[in-house]
A = this chain, B = another copy of it.
């Protein structure tokens, strides 16, 4: 560790350690904020990618309108830090959770996305009981086939029912274009059907006299194309703050834009053609790579000829058989993970660094908030 009175260096950290290059992060934050300003889009970053109130506040200071979270536990962490405009982009189901949601709404402006009358009714009941108002976005399924309504008539019927409930305000639409995490060509092709659905739903809502204040789209892969989506006036990118190997794979970031990486140590090289590092699935997560068969688990900055070809919990299995680099036990490597959100969720702290110097240690306060 650091000597007394001297700065803490990356080389002082025990591995595995998750470090964030603060300069790269700031550049990522600025770029997205600038794009949103230039296109007159509201920015509401999804904080699942970092789960750290201080970083949410950096996003707000760059001009974000509010933040996005998935779960109530994440909202609580952000609210406790003083953030008061929060979208829960996840269906809140059941009386217990609806009650907690209404509790949050006594302290902040809360918007929730949903796709069922069951969810809306329970939220209305609890909001009424606490005499608070909760804004509602109707989730559309634009093709990812996860949550959301995919039919314009069903969407309008549900929107009308929501508008008729007490203490909830129908504010518009939300969608998550997860199937557009793909190449630029594929994104452009798939966008046609998304826009077609958005046009139809917006037309029908207008016809039904239901005003739409917000159309919330986004995600990092499509973020810089948001102005090409019909009606979208708010976006919710998450990963852009750090980027990751999958964002490089789909062409929306360069390796140099990846702010977060894992510092790891070679712990064994006794098996021929292999080097084993101390970053396994407990460090990187098992989330797959966007390209090929999906079964490589990170980009090794020091050696593009080697592959992280397998993860067990505590071991990263590097295939170095195609590499001309010499590996030795005890040396350190830097790995950019496939999926930054799931990597962050494995860790209690992240280190913010400038060059070799550790400037900040963040607690990942929203880690593991599955409820």
Chain A residues within CB distance 8 Å of chain B: 1, 14-16, 48, 70-71, 90-91, 93-94, 96-97, 115-116, 118-119, 141, 145-150, 178, 265-271, 274, 276, 278-279, 281-283, 285-288, 312-315, 317, 329-330, 341-342, 345-348, 368, 370-371
Chain B residue with Cβ nearest A279: B370
Could you tell me the distance in whole angstroms from the C-beta of A216 to the nearest C-beta in chain B? 17
Q: What are the residues of chain B within 8 A of A279 when measuring CB–CB?
A: 370
A282-B370, A283-B370 known, 10 other contacts, Cβ within 8 Å: A15-B371, A16-B370, A93-B329, A146-B274, A147-B268, A147-B315, A281-B287, A285-B286, A346-B368, A346-B370
Chain B residue with Cβ nearest A14: B371
Could you tell me the distance in whole angstroms from the C-beta of A70 to the nearest C-beta in chain B? 5
Q: Which residue of the partner chain, among B1, B91, B141, B368, contacts A282 with CB atoms under 8 Å?
A: B368
A14 CA / B346 CA spacing, docked (Å): 22
Q: Do the beta carbons of A347 and B370 come within 8 Å of each other?
A: yes
Q: What are the residues of chain B within 8 A of A368 when measuring CB–CB?
A: 282, 346-348
Chain B residue with Cβ nearest A93: B267
Copy number of this protein in the oligomer?
A: 2
A270 CA / B118 CA spacing, docked (Å): 12
Q: What are the residues of chain B within 8 A of A287 when measuring CB–CB?
A: 281, 286
Q: Do the beta carbons of B329 and A282 come within 8 Å of each other?
A: no
Could you tell me the distance in whole angstroms from the C-beta of A237 to the nearest C-beta in chain B? 15
Q: What are the residues of chain B within 8 A of A348 when measuring CB–CB?
A: 368
Q: Which residue of the partner chain, among B312, B329, B345, contacts A146 with CB atoms under 8 Å?
A: B312
Chain B residue with Cβ nearest A149: B270
Q: Do the beta carbons of A314 and B370 come within 8 Å of each other?
A: yes
Could you tell me the distance in whole angstroms from the C-beta of A262 to the nearest C-beta in chain B? 10
Q: Which residue of the partner chain, among B15, B97, B147, B317, contacts A276 with CB atoms under 8 Å?
A: B147
Q: Do the beta carbons of A1 and B96 come within 8 Å of each other?
A: yes
A315 CA / B288 CA spacing, docked (Å): 16
Q: Which residue of the partner chain, among B115, B178, B281, B317, contacts A342 with CB atoms under 8 Å?
A: B281
A368 CA / B97 CA spacing, docked (Å): 27
